[in-house]
């Protein structure tokens, strides 16, 4: 541990368990993501790799604390211990598989100051593999949590504005120290899952807002620390829904409505007789989505729905020529394709081009509230 030279304004708490390959980029980018005086508190939660050796000397020179658990005690315990040593006005909790972008942490502090009654600031996270959206907030159905707009193109206007949400991931988060002190620690009974969602809901229960800052941007490799981290997933999920199931707002159709308005604001009046729905879902949100489409088209029952649910299909990628009847390729009605995640249809350029030669754009609607033109999918394949 290195003695502190002055009381920092910001405390950066970094829980880490292995993942040594991510660390050089992570340590390097911390310095360009924030300009305020900060302390760095690293809690090595039982890593089998030498984490401390990866930390650059310039980060160790002042306001640096390093602790190591001999055995893994879990994310919540590691964060709680790190925060107990923090002196800053703002607590940042960061995963080490982030690629922080310039001023990413600065933006969070600015948004916090600009937002009345704000308790937590989250960030926009992007998949480094695809450049698509990984996280802009968490939404809920009656039985499942969703990173709404998951895999959305970065250019989508819906992911480029700040928004109030029920919950945000703690992969990158900023919490004022006074909010933490009023709310208490992360609940350690959630072992490496749902601690962050539970905490957000507790903060909201106290009347404070959860905001995702669209200008605070990082790439995130996401959940690459190894299987032991997720060994208690089922019990964590059961605990979460027992604790919060009847208290959360079911808001996924609200986000779907946002997408609908955004996608169809320039579309001419949609004639119900020109459309049909192809349901390729595995998950359980399809009924709500199909009802939503019927409501928006003011259907009284004559909107045809073709059910080709993929529950027994083990493959992520869906190939429409191998699933749908051949005569659908020349069907005169335009299709809404309902699917769990729209990238499942990424590799259908032949099908979509054949349909586009016959008709105007069709649309893929997924369980994460995305609405994507099939012509855009053709561009991505």
CATH of domain 10-250: 3.90.550.10
**The predicted structure's pLDDT at residue 230:** 52
- Ranges of H-type helices in the chain: 23-33, 57-60, 75-84, 104-114, 177-183, 195-205, 233-244, 252-264, 286-296, 320-323, 349-358, 374-380
For residue 194, is it left (φ>0), alpha (ψ between -120 and 50) or beta? left
The per-residue pLDDT for 1 is 34
DSSP 3-state percent helix, strand, coil across the chain (nearest 5): 35, 25, 40
Tokens of 276: 């049909």
What pLDDT shows up at residue 63? 93
Instruction: Give residue 232's pLDDT.
Output: 64
In the chain, domain spans: 10-250, 253-380
The answer for residues whose C-beta is within 8 angstroms of residue 238's C-beta and 6 or more apart is none
What is the pLDDT, as a whole number, of residue 157? 96
| The pLDDT value given to residue 161 | 97
Residue 234: predicted pLDDT: 85
pLDDT of residue 226: 46
Q: Which residues of the chain have pLDDT under 50?
A: 1-4, 226-227
CB 306 within 8 A of CB 277: yes
Pairwise CA distance, residues 32 & 335, whole Å:
47
Contact 324, 308 (CB under 8 A): yes
- pLDDT 10s digits, 173-224: 999 999 999 999 999 999 889 999 999 999 999 999 999 999 999 999 986 6
Q: So what's the pLDDT on residue 5? A: 55
Q: Strand runs (DSSP E) across the chain, as ranges?
A: 10-16, 38-45, 64-69, 90-94, 98-100, 118-126, 133-135, 138-140, 145-147, 163-165, 172-176, 209-220, 275-279, 304-307, 334-339, 363-366, 371-373
Q: Are 190 and 198 in contact (CB under 8 A)?
A: yes
Rounded to two decimals, the pTM is 0.94
What's the confidence (pLDDT) of residue 2? 36
Cα–Cα distance between 348 and 222 in angstroms, integer? 27
Strand, helix or coil for residue 88: coil
Distance CA 8, CA 69 (A): 25
């Amino acid at each position: 541990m290195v003695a502190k030279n002055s009381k920092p304004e910001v405390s950066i708490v970094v829980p880490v368990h292995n993942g040594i390959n991510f660390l050089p980029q992570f340590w390097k980018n911390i310095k360009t993501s924030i300009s305020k005086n900060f302390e760095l508190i690293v809690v090595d939660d039982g890593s089998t790799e030498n984490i401390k050796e990866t930390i650059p000397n310039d980060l160790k020179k002042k306001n640096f604390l390093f602790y190591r658990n001999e055995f893994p005690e879990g994310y919540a315990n590691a964060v709680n211990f790190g925060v107990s040593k923090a002196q800053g006005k703002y607590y940042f909790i960061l995963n080490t598989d982030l690629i922080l972008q310039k001023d990413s942490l600065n933006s969070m502090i600015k948004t916090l100051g600009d937002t009345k009654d704000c308790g937590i600031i989250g960030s926009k996270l992007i998949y480094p593999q695809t450049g698509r959206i990984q996280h802009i907030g968490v939404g809920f159905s009656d039985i499942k949590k969703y990173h709404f707009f998951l895999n959305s193109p970065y250019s989508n206007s819906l992911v480029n504005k700040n928004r109030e949400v029920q919950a945000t991931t703690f992969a990158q988060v900023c919490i004022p120290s006074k909010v933490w002190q009023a709310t208490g620690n992360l609940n350690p009974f959630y072992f490496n899952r749902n601690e962050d969602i539970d905490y957000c809901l507790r903060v909201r229960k106290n009347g404070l807002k959860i905001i995702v800052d669209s200008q605070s941007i990082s790439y995130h490799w996401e959940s690459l620390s190894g299987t032991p981290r997720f060994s208690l997933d089922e019990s964590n999920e059961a605990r979460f829904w027992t604790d919060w199931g009847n208290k959360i707002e079911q808001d996924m159709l609200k986000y779907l409505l946002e997408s609908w308005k955004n996608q169809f604001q320039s579309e001419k009046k949609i004639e119900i007789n020109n459309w049909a729905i192809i349901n390729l879902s595995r998950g359980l949100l399809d009924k709500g989505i199909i009802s939503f489409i019927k409501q928006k088209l003011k259907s009284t029952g004559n909107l045809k729905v073709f059910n080709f649910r993929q529950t027994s299909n083990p493959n992520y990628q869906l190939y429409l020529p191998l699933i749908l009847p051949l005569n659908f390729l020349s069907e005169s009605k335009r299709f809404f394709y309902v699917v769990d995640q729209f990238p499942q249809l990424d590799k259908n350029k032949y099908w979509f081009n054949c349909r586009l030669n016959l008709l105007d754009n069709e649309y893929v609607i997924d369980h994460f509230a995305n609405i994507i033109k099939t012509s855009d999918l053709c561009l991505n394949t």
